[in-house]
Amino acid sequence: MINIDIKNSGSYTVKIGSGLLDTIGEEIKVLGKVSKVCIVTDSNVSDLYGGRVSENIKAAGFDTCNFVFPFGEQSKNLNVYRDLVEMLCENRFTRSDLIVALGGGVVGDLAGFAAATFQRGIRYIQVPTTLLAAVDSSVGGKTAVDLTNGKNQVGCFYQPSLVLCDPDTLATLPEEQYRCGCAEVIKYAILRSREFYDDLMKLPASEQLEHVISTCVEMKKLYVQEDEFDTGARMFLNLGHTIGHAVETLSSYTTLHGQAVAIGMASIARSAVHNGICSEKTLSDILAILEKYGLPTENPYPAADIIKVMLSDKKLIGGNLNLIVPEEIGKCKIVAVKTEELERWVGF
């Protein structure tokens, strides 16, 4: 098992290892006084692991209840959030109780936001069951729900008490969801490591899961410890996301997050070549790894539509939008782009 300690306003450990799913009850005991546990999950994960996790937690002596919502980004909204916190209230949860976020990024974001805001904050643990959540969204304390006009527009930073990542759960991951997770894995390679890029080109991520997950978490640790609240270095983690979020929104979330991030990375790499920041070779390398992992690289939407959505992005500050732009594999830079100049950066 691999343990990675994250130290910021709410220090916690990320545990990575086979079999961790069956230790959740005992891990909760270590957290101190807990009476009730609410397992928050989606309809797909509930069928696979909901009963198993619930029984494990009950066997450790805790009262449990389950909140299950329909699978998909469309459920990450204020209505489902309201239903969740109403259920917590009906079941008389208190600040000494706990939420378990069992699932992918949507589950983690929604459950984390409920934990952050119910009674001004109760504890929660992340139990990621997708590659995307394991390598990225379960770590760092970003919680949110979507609005009609934009993704993650209502949320806050609220750190989990623990992250338990069991790679065995990824065996049931649909191929499409696995590839979406690979987009976030590739993001880390482009950001920080040519060596990791080469690892991913030589051997599929699925054949080196613990190495891939721990490498990505160690990289994310550096960003979130330096910049917990996303005002400086942590912005680098938005590589591919600004254009990607616009693609998601325009598709009404029929384009999955990882697919949209892949499109965003390909698009910003083409823009970087157009604006003289990176070479054609770097662009070719980025497209090659995205294509190797079966990810899309072409933006299907007109630049004007992408820009319109980007102008509602929460990263828009003082008339500037910070874009993360690759210079070479393992090195990126932040470019502050004025809104009137976005056309130079979108549509490639």
H/E/C letters for each residue in the chain? CEEEEECCCCCEEEEECCCHHHHHHHHHHHCCCCCEEEEEEEHHHHHHHHHHHHHHHHHCCCEEEEEEECCCHHHCCHHHHHHHHHHHHHCCCCCCCEEEEEECHHHHHHHHHHHHHHHHCCEEEEEECCHHHHHHHCCCCEEEEEECCEEEEEEEECCCCEEEECHHHHHHCCHHHHHHHHHHHHHHHHHHCHHHHHHHHHCCHHHCHHHHHHHHHHHHHHHHHHCCCCCCHHHHHHCCHHHHHHHHHHCCCCCCHHHHHHHHHHHHHHHHHHCCCCCHHHHHHHHHHHHHCCCCCCCCCCHHHHHHHHCCCCCEECCEEEEEEEEECCEEEEEEEEHHHHHHCCCC
pLDDT classification of 319: cutoffs 50, 70, 90: confident
**Mean pLDDT value across residues 89-105:** 97
Share of the chain above pLDDT 90, in %: 93
Check pLDDT > 80 for residue 309.
Answer: yes
Check pLDDT > 90 for residue 316.
Answer: no
Check pLDDT > 80 for residue 155.
Answer: yes
Task: Report pLDDT for 314.
Answer: 67
Q: Where are the domains of the chain?
A: 2-172, 176-344
pLDDT classification of 175: cutoffs 50, 70, 90: very high
Q: In whole numbers, what is the pLDDT of the chain averaged over residues?
A: 96
Task: Report pLDDT for 312.
Answer: 80
Check pLDDT > 70 for residue 328.
Answer: yes
Options 1.20.1090.10, 3.40.50.300, 3.40.50.2300, 3.30.43.10; CATH for 176-344 is 1.20.1090.10
pLDDT tens figures, 104-118: 999 999 999 999 999
pLDDT classification of 203: cutoffs 50, 70, 90: very high
**Mean pLDDT value across residues 268-295:** 98
Task: Report pLDDT for 218.
Answer: 98
Check pLDDT > 80 for residue 35.
Answer: yes
Task: Report pLDDT for 115.
Answer: 98
pLDDT classification of 347: cutoffs 50, 70, 90: confident
Check pLDDT > 90 for residue 283.
Answer: yes
pLDDT tens figures, 249-270: 999 999 999 999 999 999 999 9
Check pLDDT > 90 for residue 315.
Answer: no
In CATH, the number for domain 2-172 is 3.40.50.1970
Check pLDDT > 80 for residue 318.
Answer: no
**Mean pLDDT value across residues 62-87:** 97
Q: What is the pTM of this model?
A: 0.94
pLDDT tens figures, 101-150: 999 999 999 999 999 999 999 999 999 999 999 999 999 999 999 998 88
